[in-house]
Structure 1
Amino acid sequence: MSSLVLEQPSNAETSYVLLYNVSWEKLEQLDVALTGTSARLTYLDGLLEIMSPLSDDHEDNKKTLAMLLEVYMRMKNIRFYGRGSATIGNKEDNTRREPDESYNLGTKKPIPDLILEITVTSGGINKLKIYQRLGVPEVWFWEDGLLSLYCLQGDSYIKATKSNLLPDLNLDLLAKYARMTDQYDAVNEYIQIITKE
């Protein structure tokens, strides 16, 4: 059976197409064909999501949250390695995803310890299923100014109120500064607060 469009929702800033019955080989062909575009591919068990473009709001929120988190880890002398949106997953796992931001804590590893996802459009592939299969310890979602954390316990994610990886991090404070409209001021003010802790 050929690939069929299941959904094609869109809003003024972001749109995606969801296809099913896509082989890994077809995914690889599409990846090559879409090189140089702003398209992002997410794949799980034959289901392919092609998303483009990423909105300014998405990119601003992602960068602000990442900068705040990185400031916290640097100031608390937590060794980390930013991985950005490096593609994870493979044919054997039947998954592929480019997280919005990702980090290894302590040492470099093939799979991130912490992933940040900025949600602008709902629907599409369940990203947590991909991360669960790959064994990512924590996934943080930022949506409409709210931060939701999921910690891997055993084989499933549990919604959490604090980070297992960064247990001393005040998430409410982090979210407060992530909501500020001016990124520069947000980071500088957050540094002042962290310095006093």
Structure 2
Amino acid sequence: MLLKLNQIDVPPGQKVLLRNIDWSEFEAILQELGEHRAARIAYNNSILEIVTPLPEHETRKVLITNFVEALLEEMEIEFWSLGSTTFKNAKMYQGIEPDNCFYIKHEAAVRGKNRLDLTIDPPPDLALEIDVTSRTHPNIYEALGVPELWRFERGELQINVLQNGKYTEVEYSPNFPNLPLKEVIPQSLKQCQKEGRNKTMKAFRHWVRSAIA
């Protein structure tokens, strides 16, 4: 490469595309970028995308993560959250960093692991993407076999389930059956802005307990 990565500045909400990146170059770029960074990557058939999220993106990511964790805790379901872990498969020339991800049904298979290899380990059961910068790559998640993908865009929650290798939008999450999360989570996000996080989380947990009783 003619430029070094430390010479590239990606402003919040913007992205950079690097073309004709082979797998060894992709691995080297990941190592150079390091794990403690704001930028997120997506790698698809030799094209590498580097995006720096906006502040509002990070706020929504954290709050929706809190709601998912509250759901799993109230339902007494063990889970393992791996945040923006880099998921990659060299055989498929695919790589992605979700805004967050959760192992639920396969929690025991990855519990305590710091490194994952999707040629051996299962993909996360649920991936979360906040589309403030429109960076979601559902085709990469499809190729990696992630069963469920949540996209939050323009104030709406979209729940996608992998069926025959392609995502289909559904009304209810298979991980949280019969719960109207497409309505409740966006409403709760708005409530956070009006009433504060703690009061909203308390009300959300109360709603979950009532809904599953």
Q: How does 1:121-140 map to 2 (within 5 A)?
A: 121-122=133-134, 127-140=137-150
Residue matched to 2:39: 39
150, 153, 156: which one aligns with 1:143: 153
Residue matched to 1:72: 71
CA distance in 2, matches of 1:143, 1:39: 19
Structure 1 100/76 Cα, relative in aligned 2: closer, same or farther at 3 Å? same
SS at match of 1:179: helix
Count matched residues: 187
User: Which residue identity lines up with residue 190 of structure 2 in the other structure?
Assistant: R
Report Cα offsets for 1:56-94 as digits up to 9, x if no partner. 211110111111111111111222221211111121121
Structure 1 165/193 Cα, relative in aligned 2: closer, same or farther at 3 Å? closer
Per-residue deviation, 1:140: 0.3
**TM-score of the superposition, structure 1-length normalised?**
0.86
- What stretches of structure 2 of length at least 5 have no aligned partner? 4-9, 110-120
Q: Does 1:164 align with 2:163?
A: no
Report Cα offsets for 1:128-178 as digits up to 9, x if no partner. 111101111000001121101110011111111111222132211122112
**TM-score of the superposition, structure 2-length normalised?**
0.80
Native 8 Å contact 2:89 2:144 kept in 1: no
CA distance in 1, matches of 2:200, 2:152: 16
Report Cα offsets for 1:109-139 as digits up to 9, x if no partner. 43100011011112x5x51111101111000
Residue matched to 1:50: 50
Structure 1 86/75 Cα, relative in aligned 2: closer, same or farther at 3 Å? same
Per-residue deviation, 1:185: 2.4
Which of the pair is proportionally richer in helix? 2
Per-residue deviation, 1:37: 4.0
User: Which residue identity lines up with residue 138 of structure 1 in the other structure?
Assistant: E
Query: After the TM superposition, which of the residue ranges 39-48 and 130-139 deviates more from structure 2?
Result: 39-48
Q: Which 4+ stretches in 1 moved above 4 angstroms?
A: none
Report Cα offsets for 1:17-66 as digits up to 9, x if no partner. 112211112212222222254322210101110112x2221111011111
Task: Give the percent of matched residue pairs that are identical in Structure 1 and Structure 2.
Answer: 28
Q: How does 1:1-197 map to 2 (within 5 A)?
A: 13-35=12-34, 36-52=36-52, 54-108=53-107, 109=109, 110=121, 111-122=123-134, 127-171=137-181, 172-180=183-191, 181=193, 182-197=196-211
Native 8 Å contact 2:126 2:147 kept in 1: yes
CA distance in 1, matches of 2:37, 2:124: 25
Per-residue deviation, 1:106: 3.0
Compute the RMSD of aligned alpha carbons.
2.2
SS at match of 2:172: coil
- What stretches of structure 1 of length at least 5 have no aligned partner? 4-9
SS at match of 1:99: coil
